[in-house]
């Protein structure tokens, strides 16, 4: 009986020497903690590019990191995470839908009528290329006449219930270019 116990101990010792010991949890999670800290400073589309850059990053950026990105940066409600949800695919879909066309930023403003369906972030929406100005404001601000403004493309917007109350909206960049051309011709 004691011989049988000593054999079991020897087998256990041999098994313990054959199998490598796992590092402690604190050392094993350094990569995950570092990636979590780095991802906190990245936009969601940059995190997606990082995960697609190589297989190691693809494996290291796991569902916990993607869940944190979706909750903090993409404003996804926690109730949308189901047990079978592929979180990486959900993040990729949200990034593709919300990516800004000109500056590749996120947090888009959907303005279908004014910007003809382009997706713009809050930084790009302030650019003159995407802003509009009314006919009266263009005349006052840039000292342009009716004949000059009629040469530009415009969009009519109804401002009330009556048919006669419509407003012409011009692209601000076009009006600025027209004002610069008219000033050059005047001098």
pLDDT at site 80:
84
The secondary structure of residue 125, as a DSSP letter, is G
DSSP state of 108: E
Residues 95 and 145 in one domain: no
- 96-149 pLDDT, tens per residue? 776 665 555 554 444 444 555 566 666 777 778 878 888 999 999 999 988 889
Q: What is the mean pLDDT of residues 138-161?
A: 85
pLDDT of residue 139: 92
Location of structure tokens 């940059």: 46
Q: Does residue 95 fall inside a structural domain? A: yes
Question: If 0-12 CB within 10 Å is exposed, 13-18 middle and 19+ buried, where does residue 25 land?
Answer: exposed
Q: Which helix (H) or strand (E) holds 120?
A: strand 119-121
- Return the percentage of the chain with pLDDT > 70, whole number: 67
Assigned domain for 13 exists: no
What is the per-residue pLDDT for 108? Answer: 45
- State the Cα–Cα distance between residues 9 and 2, nearest whole angstrom: 11
Rounded Cα–Cα distance for residues 42 and 35 (Å): 11
The range of the structural domain enclosing residue 44 comes to: 29-100
Which pTM was predicted? 0.44
Whether residue 159 lies inside any domain: the answer is yes
Bridge partner list, 94: none
Q: Do 92 and 143 sit in the same domain of this protein?
A: no
End position of a domain, from candidates 56, 82, 100: 100
Burial class of residue 62 (count of CB atoms within 10 Å of its CB; 0-12, 13-18, 19+): middle
84, 100, 116 - which closes a domain: 100
Same domain, 96 and 33: yes
Q: How many domains does the chain have?
A: 2
Domain shared by 34 and 88, yes or no: yes
């Amino acid at each position: 009986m004691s011989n049988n116990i000593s054999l079991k101990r020897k087998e256990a010792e041999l098994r313990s020497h054959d199998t490598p010991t796992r590092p402690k949890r604190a050392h094993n999670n350094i990569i995950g903690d570092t990636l979590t800290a780095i991802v906190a400073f990245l936009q969601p589309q940059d995190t997606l590019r990082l995960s697609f850059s190589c297989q190691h990053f693809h494996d290291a950026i796991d569902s916990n990191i993607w869940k944190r990105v979706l909750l903090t940066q993409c404003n996804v409600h926690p109730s949308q995470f189901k047990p079978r949800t592929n979180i990486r695919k959900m993040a990729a879909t949200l990034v593709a839908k919300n990516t800004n066309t000109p500056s590749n930023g996120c947090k888009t403003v959907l303005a279908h009528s004014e910007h003809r369906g382009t997706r713009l972030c809050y930084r790009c929406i302030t650019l003159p290329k995407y802003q509009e100005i009314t006919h009266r404001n263009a005349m006052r601000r840039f000292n342009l006449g009716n004949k000059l403004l009629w040469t530009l493309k415009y969009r009519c917007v109804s401002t009330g219930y009556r048919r006669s109350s419509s407003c012409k909206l011009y692209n601000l960049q076009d009006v600025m270019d027209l004002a610069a051309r008219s000033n050059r011709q005047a001098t």
